[in-house]
Structure 1
């Protein structure tokens, strides 16, 4: 006999401003306790060092977490030049210190050209990438280092925000799977002085921005007032960057049975949010994909 999962049914997305020093899994467990929720999951981990946008999916929203996991991200990273660490960030052990000297900004700008566009990146040993089912960072903590294959990533934007003495702040807009710590390490080596990430903040993840953020302190105050659910973003916001398709009557019926349907004025390609019209009100029922013949095929539904 299967056990019924304990907790209450709560559906939505908490766009958490993750504090420094907390793991993404610890953030998940804390939110789960606060809501007494049956199911909570994150959409791509943030290092304990990092702060900022960490979308946490509750209930039905977990069905769409994969689309947030594969979405683009933006980070603001402060690098310390002249110091290399084994992890590529300030939580790691210092390996080498080198003089930065009078580093011209133009030299950094020139070096950054190699960290824009489609590039290949070797994941850090202190990453969550798995080797034979085990995260690399666990192997690294045991003093084990293995050869890693380079992975293709896309850096849409990599710009200098500030450069003062040995501190360099970058804004990086990138595809999923990009490691800013690896950019810091590789850039430092290219500059000949070494570098690591001293501070890291994620400012966007898919459709979510810093304006959407809520802190644990704010959530605690809302909970005291019995208004914690107000911290939840609607489930549909997890795919908020996609266009909307509205259905009613027979098309809605057949689509909910798993069949592709023709919908007037639907987009001609790509992924869409699906809404069923009921009593002049639209209800989010999932996501679909436009097929080559123009029909809308259901891909993930809430029915």
Structure 2
């Protein structure tokens, strides 16, 4: 007799929570914390954020995890502070100083160098990074004392601006960049070019893909929402040390963003109920209307008030490639 598969533990919730991750919390730990808080069946994140960094960590639940690659491939915006006069092994405050200098750059000297870091540039990722070398993470090899050689690669920086100079020792920048760009490496290389060395002392991510700074929610706000939905315990339960469970998830679910928001750069196909049912079964549908494109390499379809599928438009028909069957 065939054994039935185990029923997934948790709620079949679908969508994104755009977490404002605090410093000191790892990205994997943040996902685990929110998965427990929402009692979600499935969760993942779009782009690791270092424990020493704060800011945007988009966390996907359920079917929204299928849209993670689209968010990770999007542009990211970072605000970061560089301290001049020292280069460290980690390119931030965690590692020991390996180079130092007394000289400090003028604002004019910094501005003169910035154009060299805009566009497609060649960059060597930090030794303490998540880059894999022969199947091992670079930071694991570096921490074990191994000599880490990471090949340079081409990355794209769309914008790099000097925001302010709080004092001679520090400078605050904002960078908008593509996938795989390390702002710690920008700080390191800029310090070398200026002859003063430098490392990042503060890093905050403010945008990822379609998500903006105003979309973020803090852990404190989520905990308050969870507390609103917790069951009330009687005196006996409190004395016994019982923990109040979240039984009403509505206050928490108010912070969940529809999975389709991650795909705002793609063409949207709005389906009728009949068309949505066909697409959910994996079938193509003919698009009507003068404005409907005949061809589109990648598009997403919505219907029934939610994201239905990602696919392509060929000869005036939408062909689903990835269907979103869950209901939030």
TM over 0.5: yes
State the partner residue of 2:248: none
- 3-state SS of paired residue (2:217): coil
Could you tell me how far apart the structure 1 residues matched to 2:297 and 2:102 are? 50
Match of 1:34 in 2: 37
Q: How many residues align?
A: 297
**Match of 2:267?**
243
Q: Aligned pair 1:269/2:296, yes or no?
A: yes
150 and 230 in structure 1: CA distance in 2 versus 1, 3 angstrom threshold: same
Q: TM-score, normalised by structure 1?
A: 0.92
Contact residue 276 and residue 308 of structure 2 kept, 8 A: no
Question: For 1:12 and 1:253, how far apart are their aligned partners in 2?
Answer: 21
User: Within 5 A, what are the aligned runs for 1:1-303?
Assistant: 1=3, 2-101=5-104, 103-163=105-165, 164-226=167-229, 227-248=251-272, 251-264=275-288, 265-267=291-293, 268-276=295-303, 278=304, 282-291=305-314, 293-303=315-325
Distance 1:49 1:187 in 2: 21
8 Å CA contact 1:251–1:263 kept in 2: the answer is no
Greater C-alpha Rg: 2
TM-score for both structures, normalised by structure 2: 0.85
For 1:107 and 1:300, locate their aligned partners in 2 and report how far apart those are by CA, in whole Å: 50
CA contact (8 A) 1:100 1:166 kept: no
Note the alpha carbon deviations across 1:10-48, whole angstroms, 9 max, x for none.
211110000011110110111111112111111110011
Q: Distance in 2 between matches of 1:15 and 1:68?
A: 12
Q: Could you say what the CA RMSD is over the residues aligned between the two structures, in angstroms?
A: 1.8
CA distance in 1, matches of 2:43, 2:119: 34
